[in-house]
Amino acid sequence: MTLRLGTRRSALALAQSGHVADAITRLTGVPVELVPIVSEGDVSRASLAQMGGTGVFATRLREALLAGECDLLVHSLKDLPVAGAPGLVVAGIPPREDARDVVVTLDPGGLGALPTGAVVGTGSPRRIAQLRRRAPRVNAKDLRGNVDSRMQRVRDGELAGIVLAAAGLSRLGLFDPAEDVDGPRPGLGAASDLYLEPLGLAEWPTAAGQGALAVEIREDAPSPVRQAVAALDDAASRLAVTIERAILADIEAGCHAPVGVHAEIDGDEARVRSVVYAIDGSTRVGVDRTESLTGGYSRTTGGGNGAIAADGADPTARAALIGSAIARRLLDRGAAGLVSRESPQ
C-alpha cells in the first residue's frame, strides 16, 4: 500500500507535507506519495480576510479527500477552521514546532531599529493589530504571497520588514529555532542576507495552533490509513491546540481573527495566554491561566462563572473545557465587541 497525501503546491506546503510523509514511512514502513492540488487561495490575489480567511486553502483539499483523490491531507493547523468538516477527522497531530512569530528585516537591529513610518507587511489581522499596539511608529500593511516573494520585497526595499511564522521558516530550512541567540540573527540558506528576530510568546502570542500540523483523513478511512496516521499523534501537542481552538470556537472568532493564544503543556498542567485585540491596536482583552488537566475543580472566574468540572478520564475533553472556560472569561471582559469589529485594514 502507498498512501496518497494531498498538498498545496507552495514550497512551504510541499516541505511540511514531505516531513509528514517521511515521518509516516519512518514510523510505519508505509510509503507515501505527494499529490499536489491547487486551491482558490493559491490563485487569487485578494487578501485572505476578503476571501473569508485562511480556510480557503483547506476547502479544495478537503473536496479532493472526500472525492477519493487522495488518502490524507496535511494542514497548517493555524489555517484550519475551528469547525470540523463533515465526513473528515483530524487523526494525527505531530509534535508541535516553534509557535513564535519572526520579524524579517534587512536591518540587523530588527523591529526595534526600524524608523518611524517604516512599512511592515503581514497577511494576518492579528499580527497587524499587534504591530499597531507594540510598534505604533511603523505602518502595518496587508500582504499576500509565498515566503520567497515576501522576503524579496524586503530585499528590494518595498517593505522594511515582514512577519512570518517561525515554524514555516524552520521547515524551509531558513531558521534554526534551537539557536540560543537573543534578538535578530542572520537567517539560514536563502535567507542568509536577512535578519530574523523571534518574538516572545509572552508579549506576542500567536495564532491558535501555530507551529502545529494537522493530518486529516476521511471518517470511513480503512484501518491501515488510520493506523499510519495515528502513529504521528503527539499527546501534548493535541492537548495544547485543543485548548487554543476551543477558545476561538467559543468566542466565535475565525482563524483569521485578531486573537493571540498559546497553551503550553507541562506535565499535568496547561499554562494558557490568550489575548483578543482591536484591529487598530488601541484595546486588548487578555486572560492568563494555569489549569490542571487531571481531576480537580478549577475556575477562571469567581462566583461559579467559568467553572471547569473534574473529568480525569479524558484529558482531551478537559482541554476543551479549559478553552471554553477561558473564552467565557474573555467574553465577560468585552472580547465579543472586539471580534465583531474585526477588519483586515
**Catalytic residue positions, numbered:** 78-79, 126-127, 144, 150, 255
Q: Which three cell numbers stand for residue 71?
A: 488518502
For 169, how many CA atoms within 13 A lie in the half-sphere containing its CB?
31
What gap in Å lies between CA 61 and CA 121, rounded to an integer? 27
What gap in Å lies between CA 63 and CA 149, rounded to an integer? 28
Q: Which three cell numbers stand for residue 296?
A: 480537580
Do the strands 269-277 and 259-266 form a parallel or antiparallel pair, or are they unpaired? antiparallel
Q: Which three cell numbers stand for residue 205?
A: 502570542
- Find out whether 222 and 303 touch, Cβ atoms under 8 Å: no
Taking alpha carbons only, the member of 142, 154, 153, 144 closest to residue 114 is 154
- Find out whether 339 and 251 touch, Cβ atoms under 8 Å: yes
What gap in Å lies between CA 323 and CA 239, rounded to an integer? 10
